[in-house]
Amino acid sequence: MALQVYISGKLFDKEDAKISVYDHGLLYGDGVFEGLRSYNGKVFRMAEHLDRLWKSARAICLEIPLGQAALAQAVNETLAANNIKDGYVRLIVTRGAGALGLDPNRTSHPQVIIIADHISLYPQEMYEHGLEIITASTIRNHPQALSPRIKSLNYLNNIMAKIEGLQAGCQEALMMNHKGEVAECTGDNIFIVQRGALLTPPLDAGILEGITRDAVLQLAAAAGISTAERTLIRHDVYTADEVFLTGSAAEVIPVVKIDSRKIGDGKPGPITRDLTARFHELTRQ
Ligand code: PMP
C-alpha cells in the first residue's frame, strides 16, 4: 500500500498528496513545521513539539486551524495508517493558498500536512566513529531579521550553510551568529564537554530551542554531570574535550573533527557515549 499523507483532515496516497502552487508556504516559505520521532509506537515529547509549533505559528501570526489535542490525534492516526512504530513525522502548517503578493491576509485555509516516514540523516558508521564538520561562513539569521526560535518553512539560511558543508565533504556545518559566537548547526544543536562539564550555547545566541537539546540537558543533570548554557566561541569548540550534536532526526551524534582539526583524541568521548546511551534508554524505554 502507498504511504499515506495527511492533508487537512484527509489521508492521501503519497502520489496524490498535493497542495496548491498558490500556497504561500511554497511561494514565500510562509509557514511553520516540526520534525518529531516516534519510538516503539509513541511520539517522543509530542506536547513539547506541539507547543513549539504553536509558538512558531504565533510568532508569524498564523492561526493553526485545529487544536493541539486534535493535531496530536491526527499525528498518531497518520503513524498508525502507515503502520510506523519507529519513524519520523514531519508536521507542516502552511499559510494557505491566496493571491500572489506577500500579504498573508489575502490567503485562506492554512494547510496542515503530516508526513509519517523513516529518516536516516547520517550513516550508522558516523554514530560510532563520529562526524566531521566545518564552520560555515554563512552566519545564522540575525534574531532581529528572522528569529531562529521560529521553525519556519524558510530554511534557506541553514541550506546555504549546509551547501558549504557538503562542498567541503561534510554532512553538517557549524554556524556562528552575527556576534561571531557559536550558534548551532544547520539542523542540530551543539554541545561541548570542557573539563567534565557539558556546555551549550544559550537561546540568546540565536538558536532553535531544540527538544533533544532540552532532553540531553535534563539527562546530564540527572546523571550528575555539570551543565551550563554558556556563550561559546570557536576557540572553545576547537579546544573542547568532546563535541556532539543533537536533533530529533540526528538524536545524539559525536563530532570528532572540525575544520580539519581533531577534537580531543579524535574519537567519540566518554561523556558523549554515556549521554548517547542514556538518550537511547529514555527514547526506547
Ligand atoms: N537547530 C535547527 C536549526 C534545527 O532545524 C533543529 C531540528 N532539526 C534543531 C536545532 C534540533 O531541534 P530538535 O532537537 O527539536 O529536533
Which tens digit of pLDDT belongs to each residue from 225-281? 999 999 999 999 999 999 999 999 999 999 999 999 999 999 999 999 999 999 999
How many whole angstroms from 99 Cα to the centroid of ligand 1? 32
Q: Is 247 near ligand 1, meaning CB less than 6 Å away?
A: yes
Looking at the DSSP bridge assignments, the partners of residue 252 are 246
**Ligand 1: centre distance to CA 210 (Å):** 5
Mean pLDDT of the chain: 98
Ligand 1 center–CA 211 separation, angstroms = 7
pTM above 0.85, yes or no: yes
- Identify any residues that bridge with 112 across adjacent strands, giving them in sequence order: 93
How far is it, in rounded angstroms, from Cα 47 to Cα 176?
30
CA-wise closest residue to 255 among 175, 192, 182: 192
Rounded to 5 degrees, φ, ψ at 198 are -95, 125
For 59-114, write each residue's pLDDT tens digit: 999 999 999 999 999 999 999 999 999 999 999 999 999 999 999 999 999 999 99
Give the chain's end-to-end CA distance (angstroms, integer).
30
- Regarding the domain delimited by 124-284, which CATH topology (the fold level of the hierarchy) does it fall under? D-amino Acid Aminotransferase; Chain A, domain 2 (3.20.10)
Query: Annotated catalytic sites, by residue?
Result: 151
58 vs 64: CA distance, rounded Å: 9
Say if residue 285's pLDDT is above 90: no
Q: Are strands 197-200 and 227-229 parallel, antiparallel or unpaired?
A: parallel
For 97-136, give one letter per residue: b (16+ CB within 10 A) or e. bbeeeeebeebeebbbbbbbeeeebbeeebbeebbbbbbb
What pLDDT is attached to residue 223? 98
Quote the CA–CA distance of 280 and 261 in Å, as a whole number: 29
CB 24 within 8 A of CB 138: no
Instruction: Band the pLDDT of 1: cuts 50, 70, 90.
Output: confident
Determine how β-strand 31-39 pairs with β-strand 42-43: antiparallel
User: Residue with the nearest Cα to atom 8 of ligand 1?
Assistant: 187
Looking at the domain that runs over 4-117, which CATH code has it been given? 3.30.470.10
Give the cell for residue 85. Answer: 512504530
211 CB within 6 A, ligand 1? yes
- What CA–CA distance (Å, rounded) separates 191 from 197? 10
Q: Whose CA is nearest to atom 5 of ligand 1?
A: 187
Residue nearest to atom 10 of ligand 1 (CA): 188
pLDDT of residue 215: 98
What is the domain partition of the chain in residue ranges?
A: 4-117, 124-284
Determine the distance separating the centroid of ligand 1 and the alpha carbon of 64, expressed in angstroms: 21
Closest ligand 1 atom to residue 214 Cα is 14
Alpha-carbon distance of 218 to 226, in angstroms, equals: 11
Distance 266 CA to ligand 1 centre (A): 25
CA 206 – CA 200 distance, rounded (Å): 12
Question: Ligand 1 in contact with 187 (CB < 6 A)?
Answer: yes
Q: 201 CB under 6 A from ligand 1?
A: no
* pLDDT tens column, 39-65: 999 999 999 999 999 999 999 999 999
The predicted pLDDT at position 14 comes to 98
Q: Is 56 a pocket residue for ligand 1 (Cβ < 6 Å)?
A: no
Q: Do 18 and 24 form a contact (C-beta atoms < 8 A)?
A: no
User: What does residue 184 show for φ and ψ, rounded to 5 degrees?
Assistant: -160, 175
Choose one of 32, 171, 248, 279 to mutate for the ligand 1 pocket test, by most ligand atoms within 8 angstroms of C-beta. 248
